[in-house]
Each structure stands twice: as C-alpha cells, then as structure tokens.
Amino acid sequence: GKNIFLEMEYIYMFRDFKPFYWTYQDYRHPDVKEFFNKARKYYLDLLYKA
C-alpha cells in the first residue's frame, strides 16, 4: 500500500483502550473510545465465528 499512514492513538490493555499522552483531545472523547470498543468486539465476534 502506497500512501498509508498510521498514528498510534490508543493501546489496548486491561480490557480497555488507553490513550497515549500525545493522543489528540477529540480522540479522547468517550464516544470515540466506545466506537473502538464496539469495533473490536465486532471483529472478535467475526473471528470466533470463522
């Protein structure tokens, strides 16, 4: 993949996403964290069904 960039904004530990000190303020909003938790659960459900 060309022109694909990544920024680490969270780490998953102790059953939750934890922001880094450099994580943007808007990424720290509880709704964003909830989205990532739901996306992770959805992905894991797909893996377990496969």
Query: Residue 6 — very low, low, confident or very high, per pLDDT cuts 50/70/90?
Result: confident
Average confidence (pLDDT) over 21-38: 94
Domain boundaries, the chain: 10-49
Average confidence (pLDDT) over 9-31: 94
pLDDT value at residue 29 = 94
Residue environment code for 17-41, b if the CB has 16+ CB neighbours within 10 A, otherwise e: bebeeebeeeeeeeebbeeeeeeee
pTM for this model (two decimals): 0.74
1 compared with 35, residue with greater pLDDT: 35
